[in-house]
């Protein structure tokens, strides 16, 4: 009998998920994810991450972790339709919101796509159990958009590689366990041809982590200084010097954080990462009601606009997801949803800010919820930067989806060693 003949139907799975969630998971309010990190102390943040790990373990023990991950690697071996059904059922319940991205996508997605059987056996089950949290070691002080311009270097030494360099803007590296790390292994070929990807244990001698404080008070961003770190060749993902093949798919999986990843658990209609920091119209209505503002025409207009943005976002995720999965368009079209969630995220924060007026900038202790929204406004632009900027998404849409002429590059055929660049920042 084939797997599809024995597979549980989506309806039966959804019913089982509904009963399990009701019996096991605490109810919650959707408060917009990581943006709350700005007002947490380090102790509170660590406790929150430990809580996310525990929730992930509950999902695993309940048989609802890794719904689309093959059973060989600890998952459920089911389909995207099953994951979507779970996403509908999980709305209103706690789930490990802040550890879905980048652990499940892009990191686990890349491991599943490019890892060897042994690598998947070793690394995927701990992810599904909440034991291993992963981060992306991509951006460098010299720039994040030009991913292929990585200057962090790995030099082969027998069965090991020795890494030196620096990565930056790594969200949560101080509490995470593993990093997916893009490095240069060959300086004598053009930049796209000398890259390799490694799995890197974050907390080990030779990796110094510096915290970076942002305008909203959050210290979740980190810069890592990597000095003579030895990594076994068995932790290499993909072929030596062919990391760009991995990197291109990595970028694709990164864009699916706005929606469409089969590996992310996220209540239906909500981006996997809180790119919509206001929480959308759903969160605004009870707020406006509690303040007696619902009769105000301007308030109704703003809530209507947030609602329209949410509806369009949902429709777009489904449409683009379907087009990519049926082959009707290139996977590069994920840049369209990425662009949408970037720009609509900024607008949503602004809608919230306009709606709250003076309450968004001054609040009392009893009004902490209003304060959160004011603080989120300070971070509104991050939705256009995180996961690759919206400018880079526009480039991908014009060049890779619409087929417009490619941007002129001067370093395409030049060995990376000879490409002019700034001195590395230490």
Ligand X SMILES: Cc1cc2nc3c(=O)[nH]c(=O)nc-3n(C[C@H](O)[C@H](O)[C@H](O)COP(=O)(O)OP(=O)(O)OC[C@H]3O[C@@H](n4cnc5c(N)ncnc54)[C@H](O)[C@@H]3O)c2cc1C
Binding site for ligand X (CB under 6 A): 135-136, 138-139, 143-145, 169-171, 382, 385-386, 388-389, 391-392, 395
Q: Output the DSSP codes for 275-314.
A: -STT-HHHHHHHHHHHHT-TT-HHHHHHHHHHHHHHHHHH
If the CB atoms of residues 209 and 385 are measured against ligand X, the closer one turns out to be: 385
If the CB atoms of residues 169 and 187 are measured against ligand X, the closer one turns out to be: 169
CB 231 within 8 A of CB 239: no
CA 114 to chain centre: 18
Closest by Cα among 231, 116, 243 to 186:
243
Tell the smallest beta-carbon distance from residue 353 to ligand X (Å).
18
Q: d(Cα 126, Cα 270) in Å, to the nearest integer?
A: 26
If the CB atoms of residues 89 and 224 are measured against ligand X, the closer one turns out to be: 224
Tell the smallest beta-carbon distance from residue 154 to ligand X (Å).
17
If the CB atoms of residues 64 and 104 are measured against ligand X, the closer one turns out to be: 104
Q: d(Cα 13, Cα 7) in Å, to the nearest integer?
A: 10
Tell the smallest beta-carbon distance from residue 202 to ligand X (Å).
12
If the CB atoms of residues 222 and 287 are measured against ligand X, the closer one turns out to be: 222
Helix H or strand E encompassing 71: none
Tell the smallest beta-carbon distance from residue 418 to ligand X (Å).
20
If the CB atoms of residues 83 and 258 are measured against ligand X, the closer one turns out to be: 258
If the CB atoms of residues 110 and 135 are measured against ligand X, the closer one turns out to be: 135
Q: Which residues contact 104 (CB under 8 A, 6 or more apart)?
A: 127, 261, 263, 264, 265
Tell the smallest beta-carbon distance from residue 131 to ligand X (Å).
20
> What are 36's two structure tokens?
């709350």
Tell the smallest beta-carbon distance from residue 362 to ligand X (Å).
26
Tell the smallest beta-carbon distance from residue 10 to ligand X (Å).
33
Phi, psi for 405 (deg, rounded to 5): -60, 140
Looking at beta carbons, which residue is closest to ligand X?
A: 144
CB 341 within 8 A of CB 402: no
Helix H or strand E encompassing 7: none
């Amino acid at each position: 009998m084939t797997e599809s003949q024995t597979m549980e139907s989506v309806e039966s799975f959804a019913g089982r998920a509904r009963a399990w969630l009701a019996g096991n998971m605490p109810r919650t309010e959707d408060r917009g994810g990581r943006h709350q990190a700005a007002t947490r102390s380090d102790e509170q943040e660590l406790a929150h991450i430990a809580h996310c790990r525990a929730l992930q373990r509950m999902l695993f023990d309940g048989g609802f972790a890794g719904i689309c991950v093959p059973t060989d690697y600890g998952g459920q071996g089911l389909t995207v339709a099953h994951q979507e059904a779970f996403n509908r059922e999980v709305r209103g319940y706690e789930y490990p919101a802040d550890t879905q991205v980048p652990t499940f996508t892009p990191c686990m997605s890349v491991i599943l796509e490019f890892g060897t059987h042994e690598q998947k056996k070793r690394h995927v089950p701990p992810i599904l159990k909440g034991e291993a949290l992963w981060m992306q070691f991509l951006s460098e002080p010299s720039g994040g958009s030009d991913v292929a311009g990585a200057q962090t270097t790995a030099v082969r030494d027998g069965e090991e590689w020795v890494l030196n360099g620096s990565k930056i803007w790594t969200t949560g590296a101080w509490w995470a366990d593993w990093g997916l790390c893009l490095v240069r292994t060959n300086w004598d070929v053009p930049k796209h041809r000398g890259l390799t990807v490694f799995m890197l244990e974050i907390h080990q001698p030779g990796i110094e982590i510096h915290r970076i404080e942002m305008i909203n008070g959050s210290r979740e961003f980190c810069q890592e200084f990597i000095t003579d770190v030895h990594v076994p060749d068995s932790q290499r993902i993909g072929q030596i010097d062919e990391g760009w093949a991995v990197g291109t798919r990595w970028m694709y999986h990164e864009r699916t954080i706005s929606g469409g990843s089969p590996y992310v658990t996220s209540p239906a209609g909500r981006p996997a990462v809180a790119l919509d920091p206001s929480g959308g119209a759903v969160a605004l209505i009870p707020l406006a009601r509690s303040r007696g503002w619902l009769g105000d025409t301007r308030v109704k207009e703003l809530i209507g606009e947030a609602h329209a943005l949410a509806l369009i976002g949902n429709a777009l995720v489904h449409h683009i997801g379907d087009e990519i999965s049926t082959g009707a368009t290139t996977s590069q079209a994920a840049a369209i949803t990425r662009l949408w969630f970037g720009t609509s995220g900024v607008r949503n924060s602004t809608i919230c800010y306009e709606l709250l007026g003076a309450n968004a900038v001054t609040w009392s202790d009893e009004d902490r919820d209003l304060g959160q929204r004011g603080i989120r406004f300070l971070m509104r632009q991050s939705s256009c930067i995180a996961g690759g900027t919206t400018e880079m998404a526009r480039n991908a849409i014009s060049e890779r989806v619409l087929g417009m002429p490619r941007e002129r590059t001067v370093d395409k055929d030049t060995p990376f060693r000879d490409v002019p660049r700034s001195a590395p920042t230490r």
